[in-house]
Amino acid sequence: MPVIDVRNLHKRYGAKVAVEDVSFAVEEGEIFGVLGPNGAGKTTTVECVAGLRASDGGTVSVLGLDPRRDRAELTRRLGVQLQAGRLPDKMKVREAVELYASFYDRPADPGRLIEELGLAEQRDTRFGRLSGGQQQRVSIALALVGDPRIAVLDELTTGLDPQARRDTWRLIEDVRDRGVTIVLVTHFMEEAERLCDRLAIIDAGRVVAVDTPSGLVSRVSPEQRVRFRPSAPLEDHLLRDLPEVRTVTRTGGQIVVTGTDGLLQAVTSVLARNHIIAADLRVEQSSLDDAFVALTGRPLD
Amino acid sequence: MLAKLTYLELKLLAREVIVPAVVLLLPLALLLGFGFQPGANKAQHNLGGQTAPEYMAALGVGIAVTILGLSILPTTLAGYREKGVLRRMATTPVRPAYLLMVQLLIYVAMAIAAVAMLIVAARILFGTPVPERFPAFLAAFVLGMGALFGIGLVIAAVAPSSKAGTGIGMLLFFPSTGAVGMLFTVLEMRRREILDRLAEANASLEVALEENAGLHAQLLVQAREAGVLDERQRMAREIHDTLAQGFTRRPADGPGARPLPRRAQQAGARGARPRRRRHHQPGGGAAAVRQRGDHQDAPAAHLRQARRPGPCRRRRQGVRTGSPPLTGLRRPWSQCAPAPVSDRTDSSA
Same domain, yes or no: B228 and B328: yes
Would B74 be classed as within a structural domain? yes
User: How many structural domains compose chain B?
Assistant: 2
Rounded CA separation A67/A75 (Å): 9
Same domain, yes or no: B40 and B157: yes
**B5 CA: distance to closest CA in chain A (Å):** 7
Chain A residues near residue B8 by CB distance under 8 angstroms: 91, 95, 99
Domain with CATH 3.30.70.980 in chain A: 223-285
CB proximity list for A262: less than 8 A, separation 6 or greater: A244
Rounded CA separation A225/A259 (Å): 7
Radius of gyration of chain B (CA): 48
Q: Tell me whether residue B293 is exposed, middle or buried, using C-beta atoms within 10 angstroms of its C-beta: 0 to 12, 13 to 18, 19 or more.
A: exposed
Same domain, yes or no: B212 and B70: no
- The pLDDT value recorded for residue A289 is 76
Same domain, yes or no: B176 and B218: no
Would B190 be classed as within a structural domain? no
**Full residue range of the structural domain in which residue B116 is found:** 2-180
Judged by DSSP in three states, B262 sits in helix
- The pLDDT value recorded for residue B26 is 87
Rounded CA separation A7/B90 (Å): 24
Would B192 be classed as within a structural domain? no
Same domain, yes or no: B55 and B125: yes
Rounded CA separation A157/A153 (Å): 10
Chain B residues near residue A102 by CB distance under 8 angstroms: 1, 4-5
- The pLDDT value recorded for residue B337 is 47
Same domain, yes or no: B95 and B223: no
| Closest residue to A99, CB basis, from B8, B84, B87 | B8
Rounded CA separation A248/B264 (Å): 166
Low-confidence ranges of chain A (pLDDT < 50): none
Q: Which fold has domain A223-285?
A: Alpha-Beta Plaits (3.30.70)
- The pLDDT value recorded for residue B266 is 60
Report CA A231 to chain centroid distance, whole Å: 42
| Closest residue to A52, CB basis, from B1, B85, B90 | B90
- The pLDDT value recorded for residue A26 is 93
Domain with CATH 3.40.50.300 in chain A: 4-218
* B39 Rama sector, left if φ>0, alpha if ψ -120 to 50, beta otherwise: left
| B90 in reach of chain A (CB within 8 A) | yes
Would B197 be classed as within a structural domain? no
Would B134 be classed as within a structural domain? yes
Chain A residues near residue B94 by CB distance under 8 angstroms: 103
CATH of domain A4-218: 3.40.50.300
- The pLDDT value recorded for residue B265 is 57
Same domain, yes or no: B49 and B88: yes
Chain B residues near residue A86 by CB distance under 8 angstroms: 83-85
- The pLDDT value recorded for residue B334 is 46
Same domain, yes or no: B13 and B156: yes
pLDDT digits (tens, 9 = 90+) for A30-41: 999 998 888 888
Q: Do A82 and B11 touch (CB under 8 A)?
A: no
Same domain, yes or no: B213 and B142: no
Low-confidence ranges of chain B (pLDDT < 70): 46, 178-187, 250-349
